[in-house]
Amino acid sequence: MKTTQLTDIRKIEVGQASEPGLISDTDVLIRVGVVGVCGSDIHYYEWGRIGDQVIDFPFTIGHEFAGTVEQTGSLVTRVKPGDRIAVDPSVACGHCDQCKQGRPHTCRNNKFLGCPGQLSGSLKEKIVMPEENCFPLPDNLTLEEGALSEPLSIGLYAVKQSGLQKGMNIGILGYGPIGMSVYLAAQAYGMDKAYVSDKLEPRLEMARMQGAALTANPDREDVVAPFQEAEPSQLDVVYECCGDQQALDQAIDLVKPGGRILIVGIPPVDRWGFDVNKGRRKEVTLINVRRQNDTVQETLDLMASGRIKARSMVTHRFTLDQTPQAFDLVANYRDGVMKAMVQND
């Protein structure tokens, strides 16, 4: 079968590998249909690492995917051959303290697709996953929407962790696919106004099209003053979705006393800081978001019912052979790219 491999910094090669087989009775062999290129994949592509997770080349990345079931182990009941499925790329052990406390996303033995030292990624023709990671796709959703359910489930989890209530006003700093996922989930949960910043104009335009109350580009203008002028009592929740120190500083200025800041972005640095006095005087709650927990099915349901409309997130499509071009485009933020999809056909 065809596979892709990251063979060096900024170098992806397309080649051949032997087909994976079922190992456990609860395994599912999946024909990969479409894979979304994620910001975390780009971290590995550009720097070969996220924090202390360092790639040992060659390695296959990719984790946002949907596909079709080809074969199932004898004990599998959730799916059957021919089913179209979305896949949760996070494999938990099921027996550590975290798993037992209902926190499989912080499982002590967690293995995530396309993470070095864990599991080989999904940018290939076929892959094997445990059945509990497989979610049958509602009939009215496309495979692409199935792949989008991965970042969207993170957005939905961030919104749930923030305690967002109907009528609240929010800030979203960074409007890439994760920022947009937060936006769509917050909309489904009844937010009132959203204030959005990003350094890329096409992304701000997309935010305005979605209905953002006000947008600002930190490279060209002040973000805090116009948002505060429009919302003098400040924002209930601010979601940091770009991993940028400047955005975290702005979040502390923008949030109202007693408000919450959700850290959803992945910073390119290992440490960052915040103004302790501002944070203390406002009694701000800072919440870290680790991917998602138990929000995949709810995300699929919200998409199937039309309460989350995410199709417009996909701006570019490539074949598996064109994976290098897809990464080059996304890493360089070219051509107004939001989400690039790699299709396996």
Altogether, the residues listed in the chain come to a count of 345
Among 96, 200, 266, 287, binds Zn ion (CB under 5 A): 96
Round to the nearest angstrom and report the end-to-end CA distance of the chain: 12
Q: Which of 93, 117, 167, 332 binds Zn ion (CB under 5 A)?
A: 93
Among 85, 107, 119, 127, binds Zn ion (CB under 5 A): 107
Taking the least distance from each CB to Zn ion, the nearer of 155 and 218 is 155
What span, in angstroms and rounded, lies between the C-alpha atoms of 19 and 126? 7
CB of 165 to Zn ion, least distance (A): 27
Nearer to Zn ion, 107 or 214 (CB): 107
Among positions 69, 92, 214, 247, the unique one binding Zn ion when judged by CB under 5 A: 92
Pick the piece of the chain touching Zn ion (CB under 5 A) from 16-24, 107-115, 251-259, 337-345. 107-115
Alpha carbon dihedral 155, 157, 158, 159, in 10-degree steps, equals: 90
Smaller CB separation from Zn ion, 107 or 252: 107
Q: How many residues line the site for Zn ion (CB under 5 A)?
A: 7
CB of 134 to Zn ion, least distance (A): 18
Binding span for Zn ion by CB under 5 A among 14-22, 101-109, 120-128, 299-307:
101-109
Query: Rule CB under 5 A: is residue 97 a binding residue for Zn ion?
Result: no
CA distances from 41 to 9, 182, 259, 323, 329 (A): 12, 19, 32, 12, 13
Cis status, amide bond into 58, omega within 30 of 0: yes
Stretch of residues binding Zn ion (CB under 5 A), selected from 24-32, 35-43, 46-54, 321-329: 35-43
Structure tokens that stand for 124 in this block: 């290939």
CA geometry: angle at 247 spanning 244 and 252, to 5°? 135
> Looking at beta carbons only, is 50 or 96 nearer to Zn ion?
96
Could you tell me which of 295, 334, 87 has the C-alpha nearest to residue 181?
295
Q: How far apart are CA 253 and CA 197, in angstroms?
A: 14
H-state helical runs in the chain: 39-47, 97-100, 143-161, 177-188, 201-210, 224-230, 245-254, 276-281, 296-304, 323-331
CA angle 282, 285, 289 (to 5 degrees): 150
Least Cβ distance, residue 292 to Zn ion (angstroms): 10
Supply the minimum distance, in Å, between the C-beta of residue 154 and Zn ion: 7
Task: Write each residue from 263 to 302 as x if it is in contact with Zn ion (CB under 5 A), else as -, in one continuous string.
Answer: ----------------------------------------
Q: Which residues of this protein are in contact with Zn ion, per CB under 5 A?
A: 38, 64, 92-93, 96, 99, 107
